[in-house]
Homo-oligomer: A and B are copies of this chain.
Amino acid sequence: MHLTIVNPNTTASMTRAIGEAARAVAAPGTVIEAVNPAHGPASIEGYYDEVHAIPGMLAEMRARPGADAFVIACFDDTGLEAARSLMAAPVIGIGEAAMHLATLVAGRFSVVTTLAVSVPALEHNVHKYGFSHRCGRVRSCEVPVLELEDPASGAYGLISAEIARARAEDRAEAIVLGCAGMADLAARLSAEHGIPVIDGVAAAVKLAESLHALGLKTSKACGYAPPRAKTYSGMFAAAAVATNG
């Protein structure tokens, strides 16, 4: 299958790392293509960045009508519903993917994300997905997205300390890592703490493969019906053409 992973931010080095993380868990027959939009923010930290990442992300999807499934590689599940409306192939967000799998291996999980500014958006997603009674707390390590890979940021230690607090204070039995940029840390953190530590990129790859293998596509019956044909103006004129063509 052809699986397109869209990193919704414009940082190509992060896209490459996401692609590598995805390939590391992909099934033999899965071809991973990791892309990012040309338009939008260099990282997504909060609501404002999020909405500016979506049109570019959707353009990348529209340009790949042959993909068998899509993954949105931002933990906010940026633009997930719009992507499901647009495309025929199934779409998975890495945030939902990690949380769904967490509930299959633990009674209660906590999330560790980057910055406090993202916590309310993630808490909202937890509520929306129905996992409020299973989520101990959404925590932040206060390392910005683009500094995660910088050894000087001390990201590993800060995340690990937050996991220790999650175990003690939230009674978390598993941890969900709240940023695509943390993908490479999951195994080491899991080994250190002795509980499942779940990376959303890997989780989403497997769920996308699963939906594809089962022939399951997004229902077009109601909220995810294809966009209606209509005029799109200005910088989004291309959006209408591609959709309605």
Q: Contact mask A157-193 → B, CB, 8 Å, 1/0?
A: 0000000000100011110000000000001000000
Number of copies: 6
Please indicate the chain B residues that have their CB under 8 angstroms from the CB of A119 in the complex: 171, 222-223
Within 8 Å of chain B (Cβ to Cβ): is A40?
yes
Q: Are A233 and B39 in contact (CB under 8 A)?
A: yes
State the CA gap A27–B209 with chains docked (Å): 10
**Least Cβ–Cβ distance between A93 and chain B, in angstroms:** 9
Please indicate the chain B residues that have their CB under 8 angstroms from the CB of A132 in the complex: 130, 133
**Least Cβ–Cβ distance between A41 and chain B, in angstroms:** 5
Q: Are A211 and B104 in contact (CB under 8 A)?
A: yes
Pick from A38, A45, A79, A206 the residue with the most CB of B within 10 Å: A206
Please indicate the chain B residues that have their CB under 8 angstroms from the CB of A225 in the complex: 46, 116-117
Q: Contact mask A213-227 → B, CB, 8 Å, 1/0?
A: 111111111111101
Within 8 Å of chain B (Cβ to Cβ): is A239?
yes
Q: Are A198 and B216 in contact (CB under 8 A)?
A: yes
Q: Are A219 and B105 in contact (CB under 8 A)?
A: yes
**Least Cβ–Cβ distance between A123 and chain B, in angstroms:** 8
9 other A-B residue contacts (CB within 8 Å) besides A41-B239, A52-B232 = A38-B234, A41-B236, A41-B240, A46-B227, A48-B227, A56-B235, A104-B207, A104-B211, A121-B223
List A residues at the B interface (Cβ < 8 Å).
Answer: 10, 25, 27-28, 37-43, 45-52, 54-56, 58, 79, 81-82, 84-86, 90, 92, 96, 100-101, 103-108, 116-121, 123-124, 127-134, 144, 167, 171-174, 187, 194-196, 198, 202-203, 206-207, 209-211, 213-225, 227-228, 230-236, 239-240, 243
